[in-house]
Amino acid sequence: MMAALLILVSVAAFGTPYPGATLATPPEPTSCGLRYHFTTHDPEAKVAAYYRAQAAASGANATIGKGGPDIPDYLPMLFTRDAHHSMMVILDRKDGLTTGAVVVNARVGGGC
């Protein structure tokens, strides 16, 4: 299942890990997709631009927010391509590193 999800993500170019980032956790399957965490020395704005471009190339709509008073340094982004494909990215910049959490949902077939 994991290999199929990685192929789906790669082919769709939706949720592909940020180039050169260190994966803090390997991509883990979820009930309908996968999730992973990463770190990079690149600025948060550059990482955000990468995921925005990736989503735009997939025809996804973007909802981009900024953390509230409880989480002021976080940048949450939600990209929805259709009823079956979405990606949530949460970025944080601290101590010279950008950390990210990515959750990709790709409902293929029933039972998801």
What range defines the domain where residue 74 resides? 21-106
The answer as to whether 82 is a domain residue is: yes
Task: Give CA angle at 77 (71, 82), nearest 5°.
Answer: 145
Kindly state whether residue 79 falls inside one of the protein's structural domains: yes
Q: How far apart are CA 53 and CA 64, in angstroms?
A: 13
The two tokens of residue 69 are 């008073």
What is the tally of structural domains in the chain?
1
pLDDT digits (tens, 9 = 90+) for 59-95: 888 888 776 666 667 889 999 888 778 899 999 998 9
In a domain, 63, yes or no: yes
User: Is residue 6 assigned to a domain?
Assistant: no
Degrees to nearest 5, angle at CA 37 with 35 and 28? 35
- Asked whether residue 30 is assigned to any structural domain, the reply reads yes
Q: What is the pTM of this model?
A: 0.81
- Structural domain contains residue 91: yes
Label residue 1 by pLDDT band (50, 70, 90). Answer: very low
Is position 15 within any domain? no
Domain annotation covers residue 70: yes
Closest of 4, 1, 12 to residue 86, by C-alpha:
12
